[in-house]
Structure 1
Amino acid sequence: MSTQDPAARRNALRAEALRIADDVLFPAAAEVDRTGVVPASHWRALADAGLYGIAAPVEAGGPGLEFGEITEILEILVSGCLSTAFTWLQHHGVVISLSRTPNSPLRDELLQPTVAGRLRAGVAYAGVVPTPPRMTATRTGRGWSFTGHAPFVSGWGLVDLLQISARDAATDDVIAAILSTADLPSGVRASPLALTAAAATATVSVQVDELAVPDTRVVSRVTSAEFFANQNVGVRLNGTLPLGLLRRCTALLDVAGQAPAARRLRERADEARVALDSAMGDAASLLAARADAARLALDAVATLVAARGGEALLRGSDAERLFREASFVLVAASRPELKDLLVRRFGGLPEPDQTPLAPAASAVRPVWAARDA
């Protein structure tokens, strides 16, 4: 982006996101869904617009967006193409990690190219979420040995960098390293997953056997308590997925002459955003708000299917694709507590009393606050 004035730059980023979503991503979304391939031109458009750097702090060339401005851009791009946006979303966690790392040589090497989108990044951290963890790290002479399993890793073959996390077998600390995907050894084995929706995310299951990780590639080491406290930020960001689908459904409902239904769904989306943002300090409340947003997306696509009628039964129609994608956002980037909550809600079962599932996000400074450091 060439705009230098901060306010103008922020407005330009939002305008670019809207343009790309409506003029580039959505017109190609059906073909991306059919072929399972995101065109390289999509990634170039996002990079040229400066959208790979929206999470970067100002001192690293970032735009200094407020959190709500970031989530709005995420929603907008999800409304264009879920496969493209979901894969691109993973990149920002790596930008944040690099902007905060005490490993200055690694930051100097990788931060600017990731902010510019010259290097695209993905993440593999799901292996540290369950207890016991699926991915563990053992200390070696000058680094670590990672072993375990990451069940869902998106962007395989599309990203240049992979941030992989493991729990220290001795201390339970979470160790995160950033590796070049081109240099991954044969001990890292990827098995493609045949997804029913968003297949173009190139999502795989990754098995890691004694992966040597030198200290020079370690981007962070935090306690497990710090790691889980900061997961609230990730849960909120993933809450943009169902609201992004709702944006597209309401736009299509307007076209179908169903403006009153579209208007009411937008009102409900506004309420869902407020609930998500208000719950950032409490993990249990945040997961409940995330569940409500996922359910709202299902309501939106069901409304669109009903409005489109028989056309929605045709493979490849917008309504049919969005219906499958709603199932994806229902469980993607999920946690066992969220799945249990959704099962109870859909099954009409009583919900347990809300108790904190992780330390409050305020207990540890959220990772997105790095731009203020």
Structure 2
Amino acid sequence: MADLVATARQLAADLLAPSAAAVEAAGTVPRGHLDALAGAGLYGLTGPRPAGGLGVDAVTVAAVVEELAAGDLATTFVWLQHLGVVARLAAAGTHADLLADLCAGRRRAGVALQAATRPGPPAMRVRADDGDLVLDGAVPWVTGWGAVDVLLVAARDGADVAFVLVDAAEGPTLAVEAQPLVAVQASATVELQLAGHRVPADRLVRRRPFAEVLASDAATLRVNGSLALGLVRRCTRLVGPSPLDGEVAAVRARLGAAGPDDLPAARAEAAALAHRAAGALAVATGSGAVRSGSDAERTLREALFLLVFGTRPAIRAALLDRLGAAPPPR
């Protein structure tokens, strides 16, 4: 799928990178950016071919994410949530009409998953009532509000996690509150609050045991590392030839080869490299790096964002160790 990677690289160079500073300043991803990704077929990247998707392998997905993130992290971040919904619908084998619309980019999706899948008491619950599903709780990080039509919400029901489709529209039982972020503010990330929110029972995508969801979580971590590698690629292009070129290739290879046990360390390595590369870009830029809106200033903030985005305890521990702040052994 080299053509897809080349298409993503061209979109990043011609559309995303030249307007990245303006997008961040405006605080919203232009619909035209997302339309361009849909027009290139990238909204169906993880979708099955019978539904109009491209059905590409994980290596191609990672490469496309990396290319787009090198251009503009906010746009890539919004689009990436959609891919997760497409993949989950495809795996469940349900909602064929919606899946076809999502693959074509006619409808666009976001995710609200972490409140029900994190260890400990669930922050989002679901129950059946008179032919409906009723959701209650809050999800602190939901990306792409205003740019998505539907959310895939994970909610706990006893020992199970239910994945439920919810229309992305405010109302008496669905409220959102903007999350002010240090970076990717244009991603329109909000806290989602549901209070007795009812949806038809046929909006259920699938139900899985909570323990099974946690066990499979590691498989979802790989692609987030490509966001960090995209930032490194941006830095290498702006700085020029340097040892960072070899390092990004090495980290990419480790991410690709990592199994579930090794993936947290590889993810930490990618985030730490992005942090260091952004610092190198600032130094190479000089005093202009402290000018608000410069490529270096924005990239530094985005590298900070990626140090904490999508982390898990094992990733955090590995990052603290790399940054020299791991707690001393007992």
Aligned pairs for 1:304-315 (under 5 A) are: 304-315=281-292
Q: Is the 8 A contact 1:90 1:123 kept in 2?
A: yes
Q: Is the 8 A contact 2:111 2:151 kept in 1?
A: yes
Q: 1:74 aligns with which of 58, 65, 72?
A: 65
Per-residue CA distance 1:170-223 (angstroms, 9 max, x = gap): 3x21101112223x5321111101111100000011121122232210111111
Q: 1:142 aligns with which of 117, 121, 131?
A: 131
Per-residue CA distance 1:245-285 (angstroms, 9 max, x = gap): 0011100012xxxx2x2xx2121112212222222332xx2
Aligned match of 1:181: 168
Q: 1:202 aligns with which of 188, 196, 199?
A: 188
Q: Distance in 2 between matches of 1:190 and 1:349?
A: 36
Q: Is the 8 A contact 1:136 1:147 kept in 2?
A: yes
SS of corresponding position for 1:206:
strand
Structure 1 residue 345: Cα displacement: 3.4
Q: Is the 8 A contact 2:53 2:104 kept in 1?
A: no
Q: Distance in 2 between matches of 1:214 and 1:131?
A: 28
Q: Provide structure 2 residue ranges, at least 5 long, that are not aligned to the other structure.
A: none
Aligned match of 2:98: 110
Structure 1 residue 68: Cα displacement: 0.7
Cα distance change of structure 1 residues 22 and 344 upon mapping to structure 2, 3 Å threshold: same
Q: Is the 8 A contact 1:236 1:280 kept in 2?
A: no
SS of corresponding position for 1:159:
coil
Aligned pairs for 1:99-178 (under 5 A) are: 99-103=90-94, 107-128=95-116, 129-168=118-157, 170=158, 172-178=159-165
Cα distance change of structure 1 residues 52 and 310 upon mapping to structure 2, 3 Å threshold: same
Aligned pairs for 1:75-94 (under 5 A) are: 75-94=66-85
Q: Provide structure 1 residue ranges, at least 5 long, that are not aligned to the other structure.
A: 1-9, 354-373
Q: Distance in 2 between matches of 1:274 and 1:68?
A: 11
Letter of the structure 1 residue corresponding to residue 124 of structure 2: M
Aligned length: 329
Structure 1 residue 26: Cα displacement: 0.2
Shifted more, 147-156 versus 229-238: the winner is 229-238
Q: Distance in 1 between matches of 2:31 and 2:255?
A: 33
Aligned pairs for 1:168-247 (under 5 A) are: 168=157, 170=158, 172-182=159-169, 185-247=171-233
Q: Distance in 1 between matches of 2:325 and 2:179?
A: 31
Q: 2:315 aligns with which of 338, 345, 365?
A: 338
Letter of the structure 1 residue corresponding to residue 165 of structure 2: I
TM-score when scaled to structure 2?
0.94
Q: Distance in 2 between matches of 1:287 and 1:239?
A: 10
Structure 1 residue 242: Cα displacement: 0.7
TM-score when scaled to structure 1?
0.84
